[in-house]
Structure 1
């Protein structure tokens, strides 16, 4: 398959992130540390349109800064959901150009961090450590509220970051505070305790007569899950923000247990939709929409990814399992139209569930519903449990 063409120079960067997760494949279901390839194709020269308003610019800066969201698994193990991207194997000499546009963290001693935060927080254990620095758990003095704090190197837009603190959504990981110390920005973020959605899916496999069987979630659970994902997406889209990497490892559980309360995280690939289309191919193979593979897409690519997430929550399986990205792209573009099978997993729910998933996974984006429109689907309206979530049904 030929790569995307552009009149501007294009850098092709497979970025590696460390991920601690439980595989949901039939073959492996133990908690492991693995390197997951996410492909990022970025046009180096210029953007996609004119200047955004101040609130959108502030939101985008936080999206980029919120690369690492620290989670705690239900078992009590502290894990880091995603690592900071590492640029490598880029064509030509554009890696330096791109790296100047991405924030980085710095190795800062525990003593230095504690000194800068001691007025309002007590420093606790290190939750994660990687090539670019450490993420610590902190406790706010007087309230015992727990947060994750990350040290960022680029603090030139701290004022806008502080102004953004009150822009929040119940299904997006929240930035609580941003402060400056000796040229660095300290981001105090929400600490989620329930692990990731991919871990939750993996935990539902049980052995039965020598076979791994997926214990299918209830209709209430799958409806709640999809509603929350779409709710986060439509909120971003209302600010012309496209996430571009919606998938189970990037959906955090606020608490453990069966009562799913999801938070969308990892905004490293998020971008602003200023023109008619986006042309940079980026995301994770298996969750990228076909129009992203073809380098001509809009915010509806996130709706496709939500459909893939929905499929995996219902069935316990990924819709596509190819290890090779190019092989996956070839199969994805050859599926015309994509037809989902009515398997036993779907029979646990009313027919409307499969129909809704099919709508979200329309190959032609023009026929795909927006996130807001999908939230008005009759099946989802019936099974999303609005009262329990504090949500209101869309009329």
Structure 2
């Protein structure tokens, strides 16, 4: 069964004859390998196994193709599930971010930086109400050799200031991205949004964002403090995943149980649930490339059975 077509690959749902178990099979022509990050993705996926990471089950190749047998994830993207919930609270957002932090903490412990954390790469394992979150798409991930990196990559709006400034950076870039995602989960719109890419990058590099009224009036101070620590401009002062996992908004009882569904979903639909946002994101990627910054200009190949 065909699931998804990306820039360089096709994804099919397949069944293992011996066990009857379902998988996602990602097929890529070898002639396209020079234009993709597949080799890096395979090397990373072979090293990791975590409950909240979409796993690589097996790998094959033929004369013309590479085949990745991936864990089948069928629960859909994060934002789509929020829009379908009907009721949504800070506690729901906190539970999502906790799982993301656990996955990314595991990656960092294994000297891997994802470098492209964004809502589209956060999928639900299945359609169950309490399904776990899965981190996907390791095409831009990097294995740390000396603790710092210099190649600028990521997705506009989620990328850390030090990356845009073309400075050497570390795994702290993932924590910044998680801060951006948390911000969006609590208000439905991005902390940095400009029609003009130059102004967008300038705002990000200055870490210029705010908690606007009335959208943030009912959000706890604990949540705001958590975001401030994750979106700290100085990467050496920014929360690590370990620090974030100890914050009261994640492990305590400070996340409010008040329903914020209507406010958040109105903004999500306005800012994210349209083709306009995706077009702008892709344009931003190309513009970054024009500026000499290598950013994510490929279509995501997340393995999700409902695409």
Normalised TM-score (structure 2) = 0.70
Offset of residue 182 of structure 1? 3.9
- CA 314–327 in structure 1, closer or farther in 2 if over 3 Å, else same: same
**Which residue does the alignment assign to 2:200?**
328
- Structure of larger gyration radius: 1
Shift of 1:130: 4.8
The one of 131, 148, 163 equivalent to 1:277 is 148
- Assess if the C-alpha contact under 8 Å between 2:45 and 2:138 holds in 1: no
Q: Aligned partners of 2:19 and 2:201: how far apart in 1?
A: 50
Greater helix content: 2
Aligned match of 2:93: 222
Report the 3-state secondary structure (helix = DSSP H, G, I; strand = E; otherwise coil) of the residue aligned with 1:313: helix
Verify: 1:149 aligned to 2:19, yes or no. no
Question: Which residue of 53, 69, 86 maps to 1:172?
Answer: 53
Q: Aligned ranges for residues 235-246 of structure 1 at < 5 Å?
A: 235-246=106-117
Residues 1:372 and 2:253 aligned together: no
State which drifts further: 368-377 or 324-333: 324-333
Structure in which a larger fraction of residues adopt strand: 1
Tell me the CA shift for residue 151 of structure 1: 2.3
Q: What 5-or-longer segments of structure 2 have no aligned partner?
A: 256-307
Further displaced range: 367-376 or 180-189: 180-189
Which of 310, 324, 335 is the equivalent residue of 2:182? 310
Which has the higher relative contact order, 1 or 2, with Cα contacts under 8 A spaced 6 or more apart?
2
Question: Could you list the per-position Cα deviations for residues 69-128 of structure 1 after superposition, in whole angstroms to 9, with x for gaps in the alignment?
Answer: xxxxxxxxxxxxxxxxxxxxxxxxxxxxxxxxxxxxxxxxxxxxxxxxxxxxxxxx1112
CA distance 1:285–1:216, shift in 2 (3 Å): farther
**1:109-168 C-alpha deviation (Å, 9 max, x unpaired):** xxxxxxxxxxxxxxxx1112355342211012254321110224569x99xx69976841
How many pairs were matched up?
246
1:61-80 mapped onto 2 (5 Å cutoff): none
Kept in 2, the 8 Å contact 1:224–1:260? The answer is no
Distance, in Å, in 2 between the alignment partners of 1:314 and 1:203 is: 16
Equivalent residue number for residue 189 of structure 1: 70
Give CA-to-partner distance per residue, 1:271-322, whole Å, 9 cap, x none.
1222243222111111011111112211101000000001111111111222
What is the CA distance between 1:342 and its match in structure 2?
6.5
Residues 1:142 and 1:312: Cα distance change in structure 2 (over 3 Å): same
- Residues 364 and 165 of structure 1, relative CA distance in 2, 3 Å threshold: closer
The answer to whether the 8 A contact 1:224-1:383 is kept is no
| Structure 1 SS opposite 2:123 | strand
The verdict on how the C-alpha distance between 1:191 and 1:344 changes in structure 2, with shifts beyond 3 A counting, is: farther
SS of alignment partner, residue 252 of structure 2:
helix
**Structure 2: distance between partners of 1:251 and 1:345:** 24
Give the match for residue 2 of structure 2. 126
1:20-66, Cα deviation, whole Å (9 max, x unpaired)? xxxxxxxxxxxxxxxxxxxxxxxxxxxxxxxxxxxxxxxxxxxxxxx
Q: Kindly indicate whether the alpha-carbon contact (under 8 Å) linking 1:306 and 1:360 is maintained by their aligned counterparts in 2.
A: yes
The aligned runs of 1:286-365 (5 Å cut-off) are 286-296=157-167, 297-335=169-207, 338=208, 340-341=210-211, 343=213, 345-346=215-216, 348-365=218-235
**Contact 1:281–1:295 at 8 Å: present in 2 too?**
yes
Quick check: 2:123–2:133 contact (8 Å CA) kept in 1? yes
CA RMSD of aligned residues (A): 3.0
More off after superposition, 142-151 vs 313-322? 142-151
The answer as to whether partners of 1:162 and 1:177 remain within 8 angstroms in 2 is: no
Equivalent residues of 2:53, 2:135 under 8 A apart: yes
Q: Is the 8 A contact 1:278 1:295 kept in 2?
A: no
Q: Secondary structure at the match of 2:203?
A: helix
